[in-house]
Structure formats: C-alpha cells, structure tokens
Amino acid sequence: MLFMLLLVVPLLGVLWFLNFTTFLKNLKNGKSTHNQNVLGAFFTFIFIFALMYCYAGIH
C-alpha cells in the first residue's frame, strides 16, 4: 500500500503533467490532440483507481 502512495501515484501525476503539456503544444500548433485526449482519460482512470485502492486498503 505504501508503494502505491509513494511511487505509483506521483508517477501517474508526472505522466499526467507531461501528457497535458504535450496536449497544449499540439493544440497551439494546430495538430491533432486525439492521442493526448485518450491518454489523459486513461491516466485519469488509473489515477482515480490507485487513490481509491489506497483508500480502501487503509480502512
């Protein structure tokens, strides 16, 4: 459980941030943002799942 809180959740946050900055760059340059939208949804799902998993493990 501690592994999830100290490694997995921050790693997902970093990937989420990198995906968001790539999304903004592509949006500014007029390129397709479909891949970033899909990755953003996936990272959000995994992030919420990891937080709920940690919360359920604590209680």
Alpha helices in the chain (DSSP H): 2-3, 9-29, 34-58
Q: What percent of the chain has pLDDT over 90?
A: 63
Work out the pLDDT band at 9, boundaries 50, 70, 90.
Answer: confident
pLDDT at residue 6 is higher than 90: no
Side chain identity at 1, as an amino acid letter?
Answer: M
In whole angstroms, give the CA distance from residue 33 to residue 47: 21
Q: What percent of the chain has pLDDT over 70?
A: 98
Give per-residue pLDDT as tens, 10-34: 999 999 999 999 999 999 999 999 9
Residues in the chain: 59
pTM for this prediction? 0.80
pLDDT at residue 55 is higher than 90: no
Going from N- to C-terminal start, the domains of the chain cover 2-24+34-58
Neighbours of 19 (CB within 10 A): 19
